[in-house]
Structure 1
Amino acid sequence: MWIGHLKGAAHNLPRLWCRATTLATRRYISSSYAVYDTHTDSNVATPPTNAFQRLGLAPNLCTQLAQALPHVTQPTSTQQALIPAVLSPTDVILRAHTGSGKSFALLLALLSKPRLLFRHEGQAPRAGISAWIVVPSNELADQYMTWARSLIPPQIATTLDAVIQSAVRGEDLDTQIAKFQATPPHIVVGTPTRLLELLNKPHGETLLGVNTLRTLAMDETDALLQLPGRFPSEKQVWRHLTHRAPGLDLLDRVMRRRATHSGGEPSITIGLERSDPRRPNEQIRRTQYRGAEREKKLAKPRPRIPGTVPLQLVCTSATANSVLRHFLGARTGWLRTNLKETKATATYLDQTGLSQGASASAALPQEISHACLVVDTPAQSATPSSQTLQLPPIRDYVACNRHFATQKDQESSRADAERPSVVQSDMLEDHTIDPLLLETLAFAFAADGVPHGLALIPARWSLRKTQAALEALGVPVEPVGPNHPIAERQPPVLYLLQSTSARGLDLPLLTHVFIVGMQSVGDAVHYTHVAGRVSRIGSQLGSIQRPSGKVVTIVRGHDSSNPSAVSSAEQRIGTLYRRLGVKPSEFDLSLLHTPPSEP
């Protein structure tokens, strides 16, 4: 095995890294670290502060933003669209690429909203909770808290609980209740499971201010609601309602109490853009989309009572597609966009252009390149060679499977007889760490000279054991998880995270994302989000332009003694690439055949 070879000749991999990182250092590190020089006055000039203030943010917040984060010089186009929308009395749906700054913009906008105060006769005003930010993971909640700490002046940092508090599992529930009672925060950021636990406590709805809440923001909404597909079957709809996601239960519970700005009678056409060539005709739409009649178990939209303040519902995601908008507008009527009657009460912001007829490739930033490595099971007859670094049989997806590489016209012209057979991929049990995948990951990390990478592993893999296995291969690993907060390290470093916790997470200066195993790939929606961890605006400090980034997927193939076959994992990756309009590039495997250097 390669591990034994590496332990016996430990100089090989460091020398390989040394050769491979020469070019990568010029490409990434020099451009990334030069912008850390933020001591000059030009980086904290007045124009950036005015640029955010013109969007409607509070002046004091803009001043603190310029002082605490001097590299944030200008708002991104997504932030320019989202911040005014959240500050206005409208419901909002936002679709924007991952890494475009939508979560940070959401926090800035909510921090600028007025504090909710209750005045009782003869008593001092008492603060109440004004906004919720519901997130799918503890890691994303921690990220919001980190941002908030940076935006609070040091002299009043002890009052952070009055500004924002998190409600996530990991802290004692009674302790969280006591903190909310003693110091009601302006903003609560939490996961739906913990918020439901708080609501189920005596007086829980009063504690979290359900009846007086001003804004309910759902970040990564599709992950929170876990909606069925575009044309769900009766069974899918039944499963969705019977085994509901905690995020949907939470939203349904609030909708039973509160009316939104745009809520009302469902409209069956919401979520079907006229520019979509797949848009069915009127008769088919009325047959296929009678979802509102099947959603009897969900709350009906409440009427807006004169004299009361409606609840602002904000939904953001990189994949806030027609399924989500149709659910909110046609099935439930909780948030209705693109209707004449809701023109002034609901806003749909699409920063990707997909709703205006852009190609499927617009779902991902164009600065991201994609590659796939397939690792086969070594043949029993394979013997180690003293002339090359021993690794499992690794193939490049594009080089070996061009008939699956998004060339539709070429694929359709091939006869079925010319296509190789598809065999089941060799895969271990879900909870078993695959050493061949980790060896391939270690090679790819070294071969590309990665300064800052992120490896996403299957949810059932042990983070600690995976870290130990990679460190034994010489990879500098930094785990990220509930018990492992993000720690910035000098390159090279490979951050390690379970794939289910990647939504919305922002790692600075990230240049590569490695998706390890088919369990980490998921579907096209999941791939869009995990791939978006790289090439994020702000990765090169002082710039609102996206840097380049690379996503490398590593999957298992088949028995290497059958070179003419294609594994089922390769076929699935090809289908996913075509659906997203991705044209993968070849990964340079020339180092596989380079003789090891002398010590």
Structure 2
Amino acid sequence: MHFLSPSTALKVVCPSTPYTSATVSFLARPGCHAIRTCNKRRNLSTSAPGNVEEEPKKDDGKARWEKLGLRKPLVEGLSRAYPNVVYPTRAQEIFIPAILSGGDVLLKDETGTGKSFGIALALLGKPRVKYVGKNLSGTTEEQESVTSLVLVPHSNLAYQYMHWIRRVAEASTTTEGVELDMERIAQYLTRDGQKHLSSGMKKLHETKPHILVSTPQAMLDLFKLDPGLVPLQYVRTVVVDEVDYLVETVPRKDPGKSWRGSYEKAIKKIQKHPGATRELLDFIYVARKEINRQQQEDWQRNGGRYDKGTYLGVRDIPGPQLVLSSATLRMHLSNYLYEESGWLDRRSLLKVKNTGSRPPKRGAEETEEEEARIREAAKVGRVKHCVIEVSDTDIRNVEGAVEVDEEVLDTSSTETRETSSTATGDRLDTKISDAFVERYQNTPSPFNPNALEAIATAVALVVPKLALLVVPSVTPVFRAVYELREMGLDAQVFDAQKSPVGGGEENPVLLVTTLAMSRGLDLPDATHIFSLGIPDGPHLSGRTVDAYLHVSGRVGRFGRRGTVVTVVEKASEGGAVGDGERMKRILKEIGAAPVRFRPFE
């Protein structure tokens, strides 16, 4: 069958390096592509999401996509699959051509700016790699290989990638009456016990996909079990999505400790247990790391200058293209990736940072005028941040919360929403076994009942269709679902493979998950995000701020409105600084202020 258009095979003899030491056949054909849905026709290319043009022309939008290097059949399929997506975002306009050109990319931008969608779009636009090799019978033939490897932190994001790819692939297929072979386009590999890994490996043995989406641990296990199953010499691109979560680094200062000792201890811990992503990238880029090490020594030996006589050309740098992406990228991680890891080809590297609308950080010397500006901005921003304090006797807004007009907070009637990009049309009924129910009934709850009651009340009063609750990673998600159901709420464990369609006003759905499992997810139907306690808290640090940004980033995507409600325990009178004050500091760090949540005035 022809996928999108007839295939054109181009033979390319690559330089002799550890990763390009073969005659490779690139299948020059359009790929299938995916992009996030938005709820209206809107111009997504501005730096401020939500800046909407009046009825933009679709033909103009298609031309913009094609100008990035995407072929016409792909853009047509994109338009059919997601008719409300008209223009690329500003970030996509920068990094999609860079990914298509083959250079390394370090991408740090706000949640909701289309990073993951744009990456999928660019990867699917790359030519398919084919090589000449021997089959099982010993006959020489042209074979397909994995072109791109995408590393994601959890299975939910892998499933979401697959959903986007399938949706646009089906819309992009031009051959009628022929079933789409998704196994040749994309596959995923996750490690939820040996069952999923073994089934994924079986599929890889039968068919090599254009794109392989995997968790780092699953990929590391695959290389140990069957090193030749995914030949690295033919992989052209490696993507690490949510790199700040997958690659652990240590801040150079920790105000809460004698920082030098704790810093050195943490460094030794990481060196001893580097984590699956580090181990995997060190393995893939071993030759590049050695060249970068030699260049660093050359730079130091020559007093900060490179010896051009020994400086290797860009084409001689071994290893596949590397794309690193996250909404948050602290300085210590950025320095490690750029200066220490040795993974990046720094001469071809494109850095894309902060194309969105988040206000810049002003520093500790913030004036009263600046604080007033933040409070005024909180009244009109598309995402409202609320902080609720609970006790045995009271549920209230945190002190100093800003008053906002009711219609500004209303998220139920401003837009006509598409079905969630991960919805299947089937209601997910989270089954809780009788054994667990019996255990829950006879053991103390790990949750503050006042906090859960506040969340259940808020969902019943203000959520029009769908909301998400993020609970601490150390707490049992099924237990939270059980207790919320006991309060009469339609609570479900979030599952990207079979996500529920949101309920109606009479019975809204609350999805429950952890911080780690929520990263990178897009839920267009969700209007409210609830956080049980400070994300990754309770101690205030850069990591805590980043965690909150990822939680709040599940709403307000592509200019949509949304509300984030953090529920914390009220501090005791005369005690230490409580979580409510800590949350106010976190909001100040991101240029926001708490807004009054009407149900608890």
Q: What is the TM-score of this pair, normalised by structure 2?
A: 0.69
Asked whether 1:469 is paired with 2:495, we answer no
- Residue in structure 2 matched with residue 138 of structure 1 by the alignment: 155
Secondary structure of 2:76's match? Answer: helix
Asked if the contact 2:103–2:350 (Cα under 8 Å) also holds between the matched residues in 1, the reply is yes
Asked if the contact 1:266–1:332 (Cα under 8 Å) also holds between the matched residues in 2, the reply is no
Asked if the contact 2:112–2:556 (Cα under 8 Å) also holds between the matched residues in 1, the reply is yes
Deviates more, 1:133-142 or 1:517-526: 517-526
Counterparts in 2 of 1:184 and 1:134: CA distance versus 1, 3 Å? same
- Residue in structure 2 matched with residue 446 of structure 1 by the alignment: 460
Instruction: Please point out which of 353, 360, 382 is paired with 1:350.
Output: 353
Asked whether 1:376 is paired with 2:397, we answer no
Asked if the contact 1:81–1:349 (Cα under 8 Å) also holds between the matched residues in 2, the reply is yes
Amino acid at match of 1:224: L
Asked if the contact 1:167–1:189 (Cα under 8 Å) also holds between the matched residues in 2, the reply is yes
Once residues 466 and 223 of structure 1 are traced to their aligned partners in structure 2, the CA distance between those partners, rounded to angstroms, is 24
Deviates more, 1:86-95 or 1:514-523: 514-523
Once residues 304 and 222 of structure 1 are traced to their aligned partners in structure 2, the CA distance between those partners, rounded to angstroms, is 30
Once residues 218 and 396 of structure 2 are traced to their aligned partners in structure 1, the CA distance between those partners, rounded to angstroms, is 44
Counterparts in 2 of 1:142 and 1:330: CA distance versus 1, 3 Å? same
Once residues 306 and 217 of structure 1 are traced to their aligned partners in structure 2, the CA distance between those partners, rounded to angstroms, is 20
Once residues 441 and 57 of structure 1 are traced to their aligned partners in structure 2, the CA distance between those partners, rounded to angstroms, is 45
Once residues 261 and 89 of structure 1 are traced to their aligned partners in structure 2, the CA distance between those partners, rounded to angstroms, is 19
Counterparts in 2 of 1:152 and 1:226: CA distance versus 1, 3 Å? same
Asked if the contact 1:398–1:585 (Cα under 8 Å) also holds between the matched residues in 2, the reply is no
Asked whether 1:588 is paired with 2:598, we answer yes
Once residues 482 and 439 of structure 1 are traced to their aligned partners in structure 2, the CA distance between those partners, rounded to angstroms, is 26
- Residue in structure 1 matched with residue 518 of structure 2 by the alignment: 502
Asked whether 1:149 is paired with 2:151, we answer no
Once residues 444 and 220 of structure 2 are traced to their aligned partners in structure 1, the CA distance between those partners, rounded to angstroms, is 30
Once residues 157 and 34 of structure 1 are traced to their aligned partners in structure 2, the CA distance between those partners, rounded to angstroms, is 31
1:241, distance to aligned residue in structure 2 (A): 1.6
Asked if the contact 2:145–2:210 (Cα under 8 Å) also holds between the matched residues in 1, the reply is yes
- Residue in structure 2 matched with residue 90 of structure 1 by the alignment: 103
1:152, distance to aligned residue in structure 2 (A): 1.4
Secondary structure of 1:265's match? Answer: helix
1:586, distance to aligned residue in structure 2 (A): 2.1
Counterparts in 2 of 1:267 and 1:513: CA distance versus 1, 3 Å? farther
Instruction: Please point out which of 254, 259, 262 is paired with 2:284.
Output: 254
Asked whether 1:217 is paired with 2:239, we answer yes
Secondary structure of 2:526's match? Answer: coil
Amino acid at match of 1:217: V
Asked if the contact 1:44–1:67 (Cα under 8 Å) also holds between the matched residues in 2, the reply is no
Asked whether 1:164 is paired with 2:186, we answer yes
In percent, how many aligned pairs have the same letter? 27
Counterparts in 2 of 1:553 and 1:306: CA distance versus 1, 3 Å? closer
Counterparts in 2 of 1:306 and 1:504: CA distance versus 1, 3 Å? closer
> C-alpha offsets along residues 162-184 of structure 1, whole Å, 9 cap, x if unaligned?
11110102343332222112101
Asked whether 1:332 is paired with 2:333, we answer no
Secondary structure of 1:253's match? Answer: helix
Secondary structure of 1:377's match? Answer: coil
Once residues 357 and 265 of structure 1 are traced to their aligned partners in structure 2, the CA distance between those partners, rounded to angstroms, is 35
Asked whether 1:187 is paired with 2:211, we answer yes
Amino acid at match of 2:514: Q
- Residue in structure 2 matched with residue 409 of structure 1 by the alignment: none
Asked if the contact 1:372–1:398 (Cα under 8 Å) also holds between the matched residues in 2, the reply is no
Counterparts in 2 of 1:207 and 1:79: CA distance versus 1, 3 Å? same
Asked if the contact 1:267–1:330 (Cα under 8 Å) also holds between the matched residues in 2, the reply is no
- Residue in structure 2 matched with residue 48 of structure 1 by the alignment: 61
> C-alpha offsets along residues 229-286 of structure 1, whole Å, 9 cap, x if unaligned?
14472222112222222221211121215579999735999xxxxxxxxxxxxxxxx9
Counterparts in 2 of 1:304 and 1:474: CA distance versus 1, 3 Å? farther
Secondary structure of 1:239's match? Answer: helix
1:569, distance to aligned residue in structure 2 (A): 2.1
Once residues 262 and 509 of structure 1 are traced to their aligned partners in structure 2, the CA distance between those partners, rounded to angstroms, is 46
1:484, distance to aligned residue in structure 2 (A): 4.9
Asked if the contact 1:265–1:333 (Cα under 8 Å) also holds between the matched residues in 2, the reply is no
Counterparts in 2 of 1:256 and 1:189: CA distance versus 1, 3 Å? same
Counterparts in 2 of 1:451 and 1:486: CA distance versus 1, 3 Å? closer
1:590, distance to aligned residue in structure 2 (A): 5.5
> C-alpha offsets along residues 138-164 of structure 1, whole Å, 9 cap, x if unaligned?
110010000011011275554111111
What aligned pairs does 1:417-496 form with structure 2 within 5 A after superposition? 432-481=446-495, 484-485=498-499, 487-491=501-505, 492-496=508-512
1:67, distance to aligned residue in structure 2 (A): 1.1
Counterparts in 2 of 1:80 and 1:334: CA distance versus 1, 3 Å? same
Counterparts in 2 of 1:160 and 1:263: CA distance versus 1, 3 Å? farther
Deviates more, 1:160-169 or 1:228-237: 228-237
Once residues 313 and 223 of structure 2 are traced to their aligned partners in structure 1, the CA distance between those partners, rounded to angstroms, is 23
Asked whether 1:72 is paired with 2:47, we answer no
Secondary structure of 1:333's match? Answer: coil
Asked whether 1:242 is paired with 2:272, we answer yes
Once residues 525 and 359 of structure 2 are traced to their aligned partners in structure 1, the CA distance between those partners, rounded to angstroms, is 32
Asked if the contact 1:259–1:311 (Cα under 8 Å) also holds between the matched residues in 2, the reply is no
Counterparts in 2 of 1:97 and 1:355: CA distance versus 1, 3 Å? closer
Once residues 144 and 180 of structure 2 are traced to their aligned partners in structure 1, the CA distance between those partners, rounded to angstroms, is 17
Amino acid at match of 1:128: S
Asked if the contact 2:151–2:239 (Cα under 8 Å) also holds between the matched residues in 1, the reply is yes
Counterparts in 2 of 1:139 and 1:521: CA distance versus 1, 3 Å? farther
Q: What is the TM-score of this pair, normalised by structure 1?
A: 0.69
Asked if the contact 1:97–1:351 (Cα under 8 Å) also holds between the matched residues in 2, the reply is yes
Secondary structure of 1:474's match? Answer: coil
- Residue in structure 2 matched with residue 512 of structure 1 by the alignment: 528
Counterparts in 2 of 1:266 and 1:143: CA distance versus 1, 3 Å? farther
- Residue in structure 2 matched with residue 408 of structure 1 by the alignment: none
1:34, distance to aligned residue in structure 2 (A): 8.2
1:509, distance to aligned residue in structure 2 (A): 2.8
Asked if the contact 1:149–1:157 (Cα under 8 Å) also holds between the matched residues in 2, the reply is no
Amino acid at match of 2:168: L
- Residue in structure 2 matched with residue 208 of structure 1 by the alignment: 230
Once residues 180 and 291 of structure 2 are traced to their aligned partners in structure 1, the CA distance between those partners, rounded to angstroms, is 35
Secondary structure of 2:238's match? Answer: strand
Once residues 321 and 102 of structure 1 are traced to their aligned partners in structure 2, the CA distance between those partners, rounded to angstroms, is 18
Once residues 503 and 143 of structure 2 are traced to their aligned partners in structure 1, the CA distance between those partners, rounded to angstroms, is 43
1:209, distance to aligned residue in structure 2 (A): 2.1
Asked whether 1:311 is paired with 2:328, we answer no
Amino acid at match of 2:151: V
- Number of aligned residue pairs: give it: 463
Asked if the contact 1:259–1:304 (Cα under 8 Å) also holds between the matched residues in 2, the reply is no
Secondary structure of 1:211's match? Answer: helix
Asked if the contact 2:158–2:213 (Cα under 8 Å) also holds between the matched residues in 1, the reply is yes
Instruction: Please point out which of 327, 331, 339 is paired with 1:322.
Output: 331
Instruction: Please point out which of 556, 567, 575 is paired with 1:535.
Output: 556
- Residue in structure 2 matched with residue 397 of structure 1 by the alignment: 398
1:311, distance to aligned residue in structure 2 (A): 1.4
User: What RMSD over aligned residues (CA atoms) do the two structures have, in Å?
Assistant: 3.7
Once residues 236 and 151 of structure 1 are traced to their aligned partners in structure 2, the CA distance between those partners, rounded to angstroms, is 44
- Residue in structure 2 matched with residue 291 of structure 1 by the alignment: none
1:480, distance to aligned residue in structure 2 (A): 0.6
1:398, distance to aligned residue in structure 2 (A): 2.7
Asked if the contact 2:385–2:593 (Cα under 8 Å) also holds between the matched residues in 1, the reply is yes
Once residues 243 and 132 of structure 1 are traced to their aligned partners in structure 2, the CA distance between those partners, rounded to angstroms, is 23
